[in-house]
Chains A and B, each alone.
Chain A
Amino acid sequence: MNLLWLEIYKTFSRWRTYIGFGFIALVVILTEVVMKLSAGEIVHRMMRSLQKDFLVFGNVLNGWFVTAFIMNSLHIHIPFLIALVAGDIVSGEATSGTVRFLLIRPPSRYRIITAKYVTTIFYTAGLVVFLGLMCILPGLALFGSGDLVVHHFGKFGIVFIPEAEIPIRMLVAFVAAIWSMTAVASIAFLFSTLVENSIGPIIGTMAVVVVFLVIGNFPFDFFRSLKPYLFTTYMVFWQQFLDDPIRWQEIVKSAVILGLHSLGLFFIAFGVYARKDIKS
C-alpha cells in the first residue's frame, strides 16, 4: 500500500498528469458551449430525417445526448491522453535517472512494477470519470434532461432510451470505457518498460491504436478477417450499454478479450522489467 501511495503521489505531483484533465475540460466545455449556441441548427439536422417517419417532441438535445456525442467524438483522443502518463510512468524514471535510487531499495521490482501499473489504472479511471463528470454535469445544467436518442450500435437505425434508464446505463458505459482504456494504458505501460525515454511509448501506443483502427475499418475482405483479432474492435463496447436491446453476450466477450489483453500486456511488462539490466 505504501508503494502504491508513493507512486500515486509522484504521478499526481507532476504537471504532465494534468494535461489530460485540462484538455478534457477545455474541449468538453467548448463543445457544450458551441452546441448550446448552435442548438437550433443541431436539432434541425437531427430531426430532418426523423420527422419524415416519426412525430418527435420533447427535449432531444439534452445533457445525456451531449454526453454520448462527446464520448463518441473523443474515443480516439483519450488513448493519447492516457499514453502521456502511462508511457512515462516507468521510462520517465530512467530518463530522469531516479530509477537508480528506486531499484536499489528493498522492495522487489515485482512490487514496484505492480504499484506503477495500479497507479496507471488509477489515472486512467480518473481521466474517464473526469470526462464523464465534465460531460454530464454541465451538460444537464446547460441542456436539461430527457430521453436519449442514439444510433443503433453497429446497425442502421436509432434507439430511444427512456430518461429513467439513462443514469444507470451511463454509469456502466463509463465503467466499460475505463475497462477499454485499461487495455490502451497496458500497451503504453509495456512500451514504457522496454525503453528509457517517454516519447517512444507515447508515440508507439498511438501508432498501434491508429493503425489498428484504420485496419479494422478498411472495407476489404482481408482486413475484415483481421478485425476480430484487433483489440480496437472491442474498444467501443461501452456503446452497447446505450443500445436496445443490450447484447450481453457481446459485451461479456468484448470485456473478456480486453481484460485478457490488459492482463497479458501487464505480465509481459512484469517479466521484462524484472530481468532488465538498468544501464541508464
Chain B
Amino acid sequence: MEESSRTEVVLRTNGLSKRFGKRWATKDLNLEVHRGDIFGFLGPNGAGKSTTIRMILTLLGPTLGSIEIFGKDLQKNRCSILSRVCGIVEKPDFYLYLSAYKNLEILGSMTRSVRREEIMEALDAVGLRSRAFEKVKTFSHGMKQRLGIAQALLTQPELIILDEPTSGLDPQGMKEVRELIKKLSLDRNMTIFLSSHLLSEVELVATRMAVINHGELIVQGEASDLLEREATEYSIQAPPLDAAIKLIHNLPWVEIVSSENGKIGVHVSPGHASELNRLLVTHEIDVSSFYPHRTLEDFFLKVTEGTSEI
C-alpha cells in the first residue's frame, strides 16, 4: 500500500462528547483512523466504546464535537457517507422470521440494489452459503456474527465498524472472525474500526489502536509502538529449560520472573522480544511457544503512568 493512502484520514472525531443526563459517556474524544488501518478501539466495559460507535454510525447524536468521515462532516453528508460505511453495533440482530438471504437482500438494498450473486458471494465469504435460505432463527450466535459481517461486506464499503465482533464466540469462532478481518483488510483494502475490551484480541489484528477509559482517550497510535514500549512479560516454552534459563541469566535486558510447568516467565525490555527468540533458536533451544502476557488492565496501568503518551 502506498504511504500517502496509508496516512489518508478516513475517520476523524473532533472533541466528540456525549452526555446522558448528568453523566458524560464520552468526553473530548479525538480519534484518527487512516485508510487501510485495522484500528483497534480498546477499553473496559462501560468505557464509552459503544457510545462512540453509535455516534459514528448516527444512532446517537453527539452532545459536543463533530465527526468527519472521508473528509466530510457526518451530520451534513450523512447519506453519501453511510453509503460507503457499514457496521455492526453490539450483537448482530436480524429479522429472525426471514432467511439469511432475505435479510441481506433487505439490508443491502437500503444502500443500493444488490444482485443475487453479490448476496451469495457475501454469504460465501463468511461460510454461510449452504444456509442461505434457512431462517435466521435457526442460527447460532457465531453464525449470526458471521452473517453480520456478510451484511457489512455486501455493499463493498470502504469503512467497516465492528463493535466487539468476537463477543460471545467460542475460540474457533473468534479465530475465524479474526482471520476474516485480516483477509478483508488485505484483499479488499477495507479500513476496519474494531472495538474490544480484550487487548489480546486486538493486538492480533490491529495496525493502529486507541485506548479509552471513563469516556476519555488515554492513548492512540501505531499498535506495535504502543505494545512494545513497555517491558512486557512473555511466557516461553523451550525445552530443555535449564539451557534456556542459563542463557537468559546472562542477558541484561531480560528478567526471569517464574519457572514452572515447563515454562519460563520473563520480563523483556521493549524491542528485545524478537532478539531473545532468535538467541534461543541459535543456541539450539527448541522454542515451542513464545507469547506475551498482557492484560488490558496492565496496559492501562502502564499507559496511565504517563510513560506511553503519544
Contact = CB atoms under 8 A, between A and B. Distances in A.
Do A and B come from the same complex?
A: yes
Interface of A: 2-3, 6, 9-10, 13-15, 96-98, 100-108, 275, 277-279
B61 A104 contact: no
Nearest to A275: B61
Given A6-B106, A10-B95, A14-B97, A104 B87 contact: yes
A102 B95 contact: no
A106 B106 CA distance: 13
Contacts of A98: 93-95
Nearest to B86: A104
B110 A107 contact: yes
Given A106-B83, A107-B79, A278-B60, A100 B89 contact: yes
Contact of B110 (A14, A15, A102): A102
Contacts of A96: 93, 95-96
A101 B59 CA distance: 10
A254 B89 CA distance: 46
B297 interface: no
A101 B93 contact: yes
25 contacts: A6-B110, A10-B95, A10-B98, A96-B93, A96-B96, A98-B93, A98-B95, A101-B92, A101-B151, A103-B57, A103-B58, A103-B59, A104-B58, A104-B59, A104-B87, A105-B107, A105-B110, A106-B78, A106-B80, A106-B110, A108-B78, A278-B54, A278-B59, A279-B54, A279-B60
Contacts of B308: none
Contacts of A105: 82, 107, 110-111
B109 interface: yes
A278 B88 CA distance: 14
Given A100-B90, A106-B111, 17 more contacts: A2-B109, A6-B109, A9-B106, A13-B95, A13-B98, A96-B95, A98-B93, A101-B94, A103-B59, A104-B86, A106-B78, A106-B83, A277-B61, A278-B54, A278-B59, A278-B60, A279-B54
Interface in B59-118: 59-61, 78-80, 82-83, 85-98, 102, 106-107, 109-111
A278 B137 CA distance: 24
Interface of B: 54, 57-61, 78-80, 82-83, 85-98, 102, 106-107, 109-111, 151
- Among A10, A96, A104, A107, max chain B CB count under 10 A is at A104
Contacts of B102: 13
A168 B67 CA distance: 58
The 7 closest A-B pairs by CB, nearest first: A97-B93, A105-B110, A278-B59, A104-B57, A100-B89, A106-B83, A106-B82
A105 B110 CA distance: 6
A100 B93 contact: yes
A13 B54 CA distance: 29
Q: Interface residues of A: mostly helix, strand, loop or mixed? A: loop
Contacts, number: 72
Nearest to A112: B110
A279 to B, nearest CB: 7
A277 B89 contact: no
A9 B57 CA distance: 25
A137 to B, nearest CB: 31
A9 B103 CA distance: 11
Contacts of A103: 57-59
B152 to A, nearest CB: 10
Contacts of B111: 105-106
- Among A10, A13, A14, A106, max chain B CB count under 10 A is at A106
- Among B59, B60, B94, B102, max chain A CB count under 10 A is at B59
- Among A10, A15, A98, max chain B CB count under 10 A is at A98
Contacts of B54: 278-279
Contacts of B107: 101-102, 105
Contacts of A100: 59, 88-90, 93
A52 B92 CA distance: 72
A279 B25 CA distance: 12
Contacts of B83: 106
Contacts of A278: 54, 59-60
Nearest to B110: A105
A96 B94 CA distance: 7
A3 B110 contact: yes
Nearest to A105: B110
- Among A100, A108, A278, max chain B CB count under 10 A is at A100
A16 to B, nearest CB: 9
Contacts of B93: 96-98, 100-101
B79 A106 contact: yes
B163 to A, nearest CB: 9
B55 to A, nearest CB: 10
B243 to A, nearest CB: 55
Contacts of B79: 106-108
A208 to B, nearest CB: 29
Contacts of A108: 78-79
A244 to B, nearest CB: 48
A101 B151 CA distance: 9
B50 to A, nearest CB: 9
Contacts of B95: 10, 13, 96, 98
A10 B105 CA distance: 12
A188 B78 CA distance: 29
A3 B57 CA distance: 20
